[in-house]
C-alpha cells in the first residue's frame, strides 16, 4: 500500500538533515503560504511517497553487497520507450515532465508531473513509454549495490 510520509517522519528526515530548527517544518501550515515562506526563506518539505511495496503490490528487498545509491535523469522523447525489462534493485521513479505509461501484463498505470512510484525485481518484467506530446522527464533513484545494473532487458524470444 502506498501512502504519504507522515509529518513525524518528515520531521525525522529534517532532523537528520540538521534542519530541526526551521519553522517551515510545521507542515500544518497551508501550502498557500508558500509565497510567505519564500519571503522569509523558510524551508518547505513536502512528502511525495512512502511504501513497502512496488507497483506490483509485492514487497521489495535490497541487494546484498557494497551499497551504492544512484540518481538518474531519464528523458523519453515523444513516442520513446524502454522495452520489456526488470530492475534487480528497488527504485523510485518521479515524473517531472510529460506523461508516461507503465505496463506489466494487464496492469497499466499512467503517471504525470509530480507523481512517483516504486519498482523492483519482485514486480516482474514491464515496459515504460512516453504517451504525451512532449518529452517526458523521469528522475530515478536506485538503492543498489556496486556493479549491479539498474535495468536488465528481457529477451522477447521464446
pLDDT at residue 147 above 90? yes
Q: Which long-range contacts (CB under 8 A, 24 or more apart) does 52-55 make?
A: 52/1, 53/1, 53/2, 53/118, 54/90, 54/117, 54/118, 54/119, 54/120, 54/122, 54/123, 55/102, 55/104, 55/107, 55/109, 55/117, 55/118, 55/119, 55/123, 55/126
Mean pLDDT confidence for 109-137: 95
For 24-73, how does the pLDDT look when each residue is reduced to its tens digit (9 = 90+)? 333 334 444 455 556 778 999 999 999 999 999 999 999 999 999 999 99
Q: Picking from 5-9, 103-107, 115-119, which range would have the lowest pLDDT averaged per residue?
A: 5-9
What pLDDT score was predicted for residue 10?
38
More confident position, 25 or 151:
151
Average pLDDT, the chain: 82
Q: Picking from 3-17, 62-76, 94-108, 129-143, which range would have the lowest pLDDT averaged per residue?
A: 3-17
pLDDT at residue 127 above 90? yes
Query: Does an H or E element contain 7, and which?
Result: helix 7-16
For 7-27, how does the pLDDT look when each residue is reduced to its tens digit (9 = 90+)? 333 333 333 344 433 333 333
Amino acid at each position: 500500500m502506498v501512502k504519504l510520509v507522515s509529518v513525524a517522519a518528515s520531521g525525522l528526515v529534517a532532523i537528520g538533515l540538521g534542519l530541526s530548527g526551521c519553522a517551515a517544518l510545521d507542515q500544518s501550515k497551508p501550502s498557500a503560504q508558500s509565497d510567505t515562506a519564500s519571503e522569509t526563506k523558510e524551508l518547505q518539505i513536502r512528502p511525495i511517497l512512502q511504501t513497502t511495496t512496488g507497483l506490483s503490490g509485492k514487497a521489495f528487498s535490497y541487494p546484498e553487497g557494497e551499497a551504492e545509491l544512484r540518481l538518474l535523469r531519464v528523458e523519453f522523447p515523444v513516442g520513446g520507450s524502454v522495452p520489456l525489462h526488470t530492475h534487480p534493485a528497488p527504485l523510485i521513479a518521479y515524473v517531472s515532465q510529460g506523461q508516461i505509461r507503465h505496463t506489466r501484463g494487464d496492469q497499466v498505470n499512467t503517471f504525470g508531473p509530480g507523481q512517483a512510484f516504486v519498482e523492483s525485481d519482485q514486480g516482474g518484467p514491464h515496459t515504460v513509454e512516453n504517451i504525451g506530446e512532449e518529452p517526458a522527464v523521469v528522475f530515478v533513484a536506485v538503492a543498489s549495490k556496486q556493479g549491479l545494473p539498474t535495468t536488465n532487458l528481457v529477451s522477447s524470444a521464446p
